[in-house]
């Protein structure tokens, strides 16, 4: 599979939380279809690909993977005089990335818009010293008001307009790699699983609505009832101005999280798989909430043993999220290896704490 191409296509696809069906879900479904035995969706729009285990044992363990396919974005709240659009955020958007940004407004048809600001010639020193608030900003779609009112409605969603930049052959920059990179990892993993004899049933879930509260993972985990749940998300990579101890390194392998959200034996299993494959991993410590689907999965029904594998990424929640393709590939391979090691015995051990 051409994972670079998938990353590019997925990054540029539209799928703001709650609107994943508009575009990204179709791409994911298409790419996943050749890699699983069946695909289903649920009431929240999660895409669930099932790859059945390679044994006839009726009590096969269930391993669920979760990578969220939704992205942060904006939503139209008002059409102003002149046809300018006011908006709010869907998920956590730093308003400071918005001035001068191009966006796509998903009205009756996709419209290019600009989040315009006053030129510096007309901006006072005091104004220039203040950060823009989201409430001050607007989208200009360069159309007469009547046309805007015909094409756009309050509630229409908006994404960043952003082509992927191929910074090097291994480094891509673009929007929504958080967490389309996680979806890519699942695809690599499914592809890789072809090389293994697998005891477990694998549920690869492209989840919805993570950015607004882990909602897709919450309900899909309930429906699947997995023994083990592995969330795949992005974590912060080194960034100028951020202390090293808060970040991982880009291009040096995926990060494995430890902490209350993570079952120690799943962590160990992932670590062991990495060692067996000679894949470097980076430690990541989360005292409580990981802010990922793992947080919701862990407490579904009567509890799920969770793990978290992350792709180091710079500038998370901007439109220039930057990552290394090699980290995505490594994460996929390592998870596949881990899955191949899961059997009924491993699952049984998950409840043994003494």
Partner 1 sequence: MDLKTLTSLSGVSGDEYEVRDGIIKELDSMGVSYECDVLGNVIARKGNKGPKVIIDAHMDEVGLVITYIEKNGFLRFATVGGIDSRVLVSKRVLIGKHRTPGVIGAKAIHLQERDERNRVIPSDQLFIDIGASSKEEAERKVKQGDYVIFDTEYEELSDGIVKAKGLDDRVGCAILLEVLKEPWEDINLYAVFATQEEVGLRGAKVAAYGIEPDMGLAIEGTVCADIPGTDKEFQATRLGQGAALSIMDSGSIPNRAMLKELIRLAKENDIPVQFREATSGGNDAAAIQQARAGCPVASVSVPCRYIHTPCSLMSMSDFEAAKQLVIAFLKSVEGGFRP
**Residue 86 φ/ψ, nearest 5 degrees:** -90, 155
d(CA 60, CA 57): 6
Cβ distance to partner 1 smaller for residue 69 or 237: 237
Cβ distance to partner 1 smaller for residue 6 or 87: 87
Task: Quote the least distance from Cβ 15 to partner 1, whole Å.
Answer: 19
Q: Is 209 helix (H, G, I), strand (E, B) or coil?
A: coil
Q: Is 212 helix (H, G, I), strand (E, B) or coil?
A: coil
Binder of partner 1 out of 77, 147, 260, 303 (CB under 8 A): 147
Which residues fall within 8 angstroms of residue 283, CB to CB, at 6 or more apart? 255, 256, 258
Site for partner 1 in 309-338 (CB under 8 A): 314-320, 322
Contact letters for partner 1, residues 56-95 (x by CB under 8 A) = ------------------------xxx-x-x-----xxxx
Strand-pairing partners, residue 79, are: 85
Task: Quote the least distance from Cβ 64 to partner 1, whole Å.
Answer: 25
Task: Quote the least distance from Cβ 151 to partner 1, whole Å.
Answer: 10
**Tokens describing residue 297:** 């999965």
Segment holding 63, helix H or strand E:
strand 62-68
d(CA 81, CA 161): 24
Cβ distance to partner 1 smaller for residue 119 or 278: 119
Q: Strand 255-259 and strand 282-286: pairing? A: parallel
Burial class (CB in 10 A: 0-12, 13-18, 19+), 257: buried
Q: Which stretch binds partner 1 (CB under 8 A): 28-36, 113-121, 199-207, 300-308?
A: 113-121
Q: Which stretch binds partner 1 (CB under 8 A): 36-44, 121-129, 195-203, 343-351?
A: 121-129
Which residues fall within 8 angstroms of residue 225, CB to CB, at 6 or more apart? 62, 300, 301
Contact letters for partner 1, residues 260-299 (x by CB under 8 A) = -------------------------------x--------
Binder of partner 1 out of 6, 19, 106, 138 (CB under 8 A): 138
Contact letters for partner 1, residues 166-185 (x by CB under 8 A) = xxx-xx-x------------
Q: Strand 110-115 and strand 139-140: pairing? A: antiparallel
Residue 140 sits in the site that holds partner 1 (CB under 8 A)? yes
- In a 13 Å sphere around the CA of 124, the CA atoms on its Cβ side amount to 2
Cβ distance to partner 1 smaller for residue 109 or 197: 109
Residue 99 sits in the site that holds partner 1 (CB under 8 A)? yes
Site for partner 1 in 196-255 (CB under 8 A): 236, 238-242, 246, 250-251
d(CA 7, CA 20): 16
Q: Which stretch binds partner 1 (CB under 8 A): 13-21, 34-42, 54-62, 117-125?
A: 117-125
C-beta separation of 152 from 85 below 8 A: yes
**Residue 128 φ/ψ, nearest 5 degrees:** -65, -20
Number of residues that bind partner 1 (CB under 8 A): 67
Q: Could you list the active site residues?
A: 210
C-beta separation of 171 from 323 below 8 A: yes
Please report, as ranges, the residues that interact with partner 1 according to CB under 8 A. Answer: 80-82, 84, 86, 92-97, 99-102, 111-112, 114, 116-123, 128-133, 136, 138, 140-144, 147, 162-163, 165-168, 170-171, 173, 236, 238-242, 246, 250-251, 291, 314-320, 322
């Amino acid at each position: 599979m051409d994972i670079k191409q998938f990353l590019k296509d997925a990054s540029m696809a539209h799928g703001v939380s709650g609107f994943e069906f508009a575009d990204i879900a179709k791409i994911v479904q298409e790419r996943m279809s050749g890699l699983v035995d069946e695909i289903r969706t649920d009431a929240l729009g999660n895409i669930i690909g099932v790859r059945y285990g390679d044994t006839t044992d009726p009590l096969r363990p269930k391993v669920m993977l979760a990578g969220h396919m939704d992205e942060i974005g904006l939503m139209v709240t008002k059409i102003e005089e002149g046809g300018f659009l006011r908006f709010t955020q869907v998920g956590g958007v730093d308003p400071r990335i918005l001035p001068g940004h191009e966006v796509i407004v998903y009205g009756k048809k996709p419209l290019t818009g600009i989040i315009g600001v006053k030129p510096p010639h007309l901006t006072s020193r005091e104004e220039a010293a203040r950060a823009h608030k989201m409430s001050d900003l607007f989208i200009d779609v360069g159309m007469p008001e009547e046309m805007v009112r015909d094409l756009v409605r309050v509630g229409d969603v908006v994404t960043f307009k952003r082509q992927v930049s191929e910074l090097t052959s291994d480094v891509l920059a673009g929007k929504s790699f958080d967490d389309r990179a996680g979806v890519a990892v699942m695809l690599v993993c499914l592809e890789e699983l072809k090389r293994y004899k697998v005891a477990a049933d694998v549920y690869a879930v492209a989840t919805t609505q993570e950015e607004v509260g882990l909602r897709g993972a919450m309900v899909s985990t309930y429906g699947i009832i997995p023994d083990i749940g592995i969330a795949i998300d992005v974590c912060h990579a080194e960034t100028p101005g951020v202390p090293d101890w808060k970040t991982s390194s880009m291009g040096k392998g995926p990060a494995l999280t430890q902490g209350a959200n993570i079952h120690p034996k799943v962590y160990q299993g992932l670590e062991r798989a990495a060692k067996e494959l000679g894949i470097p991993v980076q430690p990541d410590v989360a005292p409580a909430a990981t802010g990922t689907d793992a947080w919701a999965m862990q407490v579904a029904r009567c509890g799920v043993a969770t793990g978290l594998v992350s792709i180091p990424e710079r500038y998370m929640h901007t439109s220039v999220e930057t990552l290394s393709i090699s980290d995505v590939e490594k994460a996929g391979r390592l998870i596949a290896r881990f899955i191949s090691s899961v059997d009924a015995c491993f699952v049984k051990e998950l409840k043994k704490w003494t």
